[in-house]
Structures are given as C-alpha cells and as structure tokens.
Structure 1
C-alpha cells in the first residue's frame, strides 16, 4: 500500500509542476512586446524637422496602437508634433525655365491613425514634423491588447529614442 501512495505522490507532483509551467508559459506567450527602431530625422530647406521611426510588434498576438506621445527627456513636457505640414515645393532653375522638384513620399507625414492594428511579428513606419526638435526624446505608445475572453487591456510602453540624421 505504501508504494501506491508513493506513486500517487509522484504523479501528483508531476501534475503540479506541469500546471505551474503551463501558467508561466501562457503568461509569457501572451505578453505584448514592442520595439522602436529606425529612428532618423531630416530637414528640407524652409521646412520643419521630420522624424521617422518604425514600431515592431514582437509578440505573438495582434495589438492596437491607440496613441503615440512624445515627451522631452530634459523637462518631461509633452512635445506636440505639427499636423498638416506639406513639404515646401522648390524649383530648379531660374526664369521661365523653372521646373518643380519631385518631392519623395518620405517627406510627407505619416502619423498614427486611430486604432492602428499591428499584426504579430510585423512593423509599421510613422513620421511626424516637429518644431522645435530634440534629437533624444521619450516615445510613449498607448496600446490595446486584443483579448477574446476579457475587455481590451490598455497598456503603455515607453522608449527613450535617439534620432540620427538621415544621410
């Protein structure tokens, strides 16, 4: 009878270890992980600074980007990007032979739209105009984690980002 109790204890212990492992694995697998990279800035003559960066969804679940805020790391104030800025059209040549230059699409702003969905293991590039501009700022991303069994969970992830000049 003692060997039966011993095997019951072994089987129960293995079951407990498997249950704890499953809980930890589920928690880690459902964690939202984002990354910000490709942070560059540039400026055209007569235009404010434009910054470009990419947000990567490194998790296995889709997330919804609710908003993006920019915070100054020197005084912790929110930096407001300029909205509706169009690149200034310039001309090559003089007199009657002036021809307009071609403005590359990267010079147009690409802000986050309401409820932008990032699929698992995907990325999306955003761009904003700033005046004044700081080369190092904190980017706060407010996200909604899409969940089947509960309400959407709102979370915030912050990244201190240094922008490098585009060549």
Structure 2
C-alpha cells in the first residue's frame, strides 16, 4: 500500500508559483513582501548602479581622448557636446558616480577590517558616503570652474 505524504510546512499566502510536475507550490521571493528601503541597502544598490555608470563614463572619456587623436574637428565636436549644459550635467553626474563608488568602496574596506559593523554605525557610514560623494563632487567642479574650465 502506498501512503500519502503530506507537506506539513506552513503555506505561503503571498505570491506562489506552480512549476509543471512539482508536487507543491514554492514561494516567489517571499522577502519582497517584507523588504523596505533603508540608507544601508540603498548604498548597495547605488554601488552597483554607479559601477555601471562608471563603465559608461569611461567609454565617454575614451571617445573624448580618441577624438583628440582623430583630429581637431572631431575634438572640437566632442568638446562642444561635453561643454553644453546637458554635457556638463552628464559630466557632473559621472563625477558624482566616481566619487560615490570610491567613498562606498572605502566604506567596504573599513567593514572588511571589522570596524563599523553595528546597526547604528552602518547607518552613519551610509549617510557619510552620501555626504562625502556630494562634497567631493562639488569641490572638484568648483576647482574646475575656478581654474577656467569652460
């Protein structure tokens, strides 16, 4: 005689999926139902996003360098685009992306040394990363304009 095996695990009332041939339902990322934004997890998301943005910005810089090698006309064209209001906004955001990625990387190095791992300290370090990245970006662009850039 065959016995029927019952699943005694609590059933997930939230989103579930049914896979073909599967004897029971499996939860679909149950953490999504309890997840909330915090300064600490936002730093992780932004670190990944700025890593991608930095790759795009590096490509932009490579195009600018290549335009200089191509000739004066190409260089003037690319410099004109980058010197436009939209181009400057892109460059400022790229600078912030680099500064954010760098300061958050330093934060991770501090964590790797075993420091600032407490809940309150993680929050303080997240806000510190936000503030320093904006401060460093502002200082870089203030210096650039003070030296006659654009």
Do they superpose with TM above 0.5?
no
- The normalised TM-score by structure 1 is 0.20
Please state which structure has a larger fraction of its residues in strand: 1
Bigger RCO of structures 1 and 2 (CA < 8 A, at least 6 apart) = 1
